[in-house]
Structure 1
Amino acid sequence: MAYRVLLVDDEKQIHTFVRISLNAEGFDYLGAYSLDGALSVIQNRSPDVIVLDLGLPDGEGISLLNHIREKGHTTPVIILTARDQEDEKITLLEAGANDYISKPFGVKELIVRIKVLVRDLIAPSKKTEDLIQCGELSLSLSSHQFWYDSRLISLTKKEFHFIKMLMEGNGGLVRQDDLLISIWGETHRQDSHYLRVLVSQIRKKICEEESRKNIIKTEPGIGYRLCVDEIEND
């Protein structure tokens, strides 16, 4: 099966070298030069991955990202951006972007990041029935479900992966380098803000009731751990 990658960018030169590289790696290339063109391709061709430039002739790329997420589409999105403000990158991740790459970029790096996202799309061929438990936390590897004090909490794949690593640590420190590499890949070992966004999202889900304690402890610049005593005594 050839995965379909949609490139949304108004620069023809970028389309040319990305198309050649995608085809060489066995991907199907889809192209759009505007927001309207991208919406048409998404509706008619259902791409597996979207590579989205922020500055387009008929608007900002983030408006397309917001639109597809509001419609419930979970298609992985890589943002192309010439902007380097960390706050804006965090805003993009919170809006539902899976990754970003700064312009000018190397096409080899883009291909690697696309492959990482495609890897996440591939369902495991064999599932285990293992249940991981840590205090009042339970996690099922086979059903991809997570419970806190018997309350089922819906997690994304990356949130599930994060919680799984912390539960396996059973209160021990899990280094942020290990988390970044395991969840996003080697190219993101310095992108600690990815983890800050992810942890913020998980905390909101776990602590939606005011009485719930924050069970994820941050060790600034080092990593994260579960507050096991608080889980067990909750």
Structure 2
Amino acid sequence: MEQNNRILVVEDDAGIRRSLFETLGALGFSVGEAHNGEEAQQRLRMVTYNAVLLDINMPGMGGIETCRRISQQHPGLPIIMLTVRDEEDDIVEALDAGASDFVTKPFQIRELTARIRAVVRRQNAPLATTEPLTVVGEISLDADRRRVEKRGEQIHLAPKEFETLRYLMQHAGRPVRHERLLASVWGPLYGTEREYLRVIVNQLRKKIEDDPSHPAYILTESHIGYRFRPSLDETEEAGR
């Protein structure tokens, strides 16, 4: 599978860039290189890639802004951020910019290649059949148009925010375990990265709830996961 997949490595450190080029190439990937965000955008205009490995800390146009621009110019292209930190602020920024996943330096090449394969596999998955419009309370989700509205006003969601909301709304009224939600949104390799869900759910609540500190839609099921309330007529108190 790898020999048909093109990976663009965007990294200002020449040593790391060369190491990734040689290692991923030896594993059968076709690897392109860019040393900054501007060069990455130029290469993406010339060559079709299946995924991007993007350093979060680069001089000039930083990794977050580069991620945002790539996501806008190439919707659906998986972007894996390479970072030396594993902090919530970085995760929030990167997910909102359109990142698909994160790998913290120093990383194991087996972990990195597994994550590359996971995002590429999801990108190459057959398109789902047409889904009906999902409406709960004042929230509507159109999966085919990838559009979410509240009271008729469109809400901008990052890709992982959209997929998380979509899954929760599809299973409205039923508790969804952390592991199941992670696997459905990120793939079968995931199940323990609960900080991803915490970040995503916090961001979703800020965007769709009238009062994020007292959510009416996305409820926390203690020690289990999350549940999307199927009807606002319910009287139960929302957990956080």
Alignment of 1:211-230 (within 5 A): 214-230=216-232
Are residues 85 and 152 of structure 1, via their aligned partners in 2, closer, same or farther at CA, if it must alter by over 3 Å?
closer
CA deviation after TM superposition for structure 1 residue 168, in Å: 5.2
Q: CA deviation at 1:120?
A: 2.1
Residues 1:38 and 1:133: Cα distance change in structure 2 (over 3 Å): closer
Q: Does 1:2 align with 2:7?
A: no
Return the alpha-carbon distance in structure 1 between the equivalents of residues 147 and 98 of structure 2: 21
- More displaced stretch, 29-38 vs 187-196: 187-196
User: In the alignment, what sits opposite 1:51?
Assistant: 53
Please point out which of 91, 109, 112 is paired with 1:110.
Answer: 112
Query: Partners of 1:55 and 1:164 in 2: how far apart?
Result: 31
Partner Cα distance (1:92, 1:17) in 2:
24
Instruction: Render the CA deviation track for 1:84-114: whole Å, top value 9, x for unaligned.
Output: 3322222222222221111011112111111
Query: One-letter code of the match for 1:121?
Result: Q
Counterparts in 2 of 1:168 and 1:41: CA distance versus 1, 3 Å: closer
For the 8 Å contact 1:134–1:170, the answer to whether it is kept is: no
Tell me which amino acid in the other structure corresponds to 1:63.
Answer: E
> Residue by residue, what CA displacement relative to the aligned partner does 1:149-186 show, whole Å, maximum 9, x if unpaired?
99697877645543454345441211112211222135
> Residue 46 of structure 1: CA displacement?
3.8
Matches of 2:52 and 2:148, distance apart in 1: 32
Separation (CA, whole Å) in 1 of partners of 2:148 and 2:39: 42
RMSD (Å), alpha carbons:
3.7
- The counterpart of 1:86, out of the listed 85, 88, 92, is 88
* Aligned-pair CA distance for 1:204: 5.6
Q: Which runs of 5+ in 1 are unaligned?
A: none
> Runs of 5+ in structure 2 lacking a partner?
236-240
SS in 1 for 2:7: strand
- In structure 2, the partner of 1:28 is 30
Q: How far apart, in 1, do the equivalents of 2:53 and 2:177 lie?
A: 30
Q: In structure 2, the residue corresponding to 1:114 is in which secondary structure?
A: helix
- Partner residue in 2 for 1:14: 16
Tell me: CA distance 1:72–1:87, structure 2 relative to 1, closer, same or farther (3 Å). Answer: same
Number of matched pairs: 227
Alignment of 1:1-234 (within 5 A): 2-69=4-71, 71-74=72-75, 75-124=77-126, 127-128=128-129, 143=144, 158-159=160-161, 161-167=163-169, 169-203=171-205, 206-207=208-209, 214-230=216-232
The one-letter code of the counterpart of 2:174 is G
Alpha carbons of 1:43 and 1:222: their partners in 2 closer, same or farther (altered >3 Å)?
same
Identity of aligned residues (%): 34
Task: Out of 115-124 and 156-165, give the one that drifted further.
Answer: 156-165
- Residues 138 and 148 of structure 1 are in contact (CA less than 8 Å); yes or no, is this contact kept in structure 2? yes
Change beyond 3 A, Cα 1:130–1:93? closer
Q: Is the 8 A contact 2:64 2:93 kept in 1?
A: no
**Secondary structure class of the residue paired with 1:56:** coil
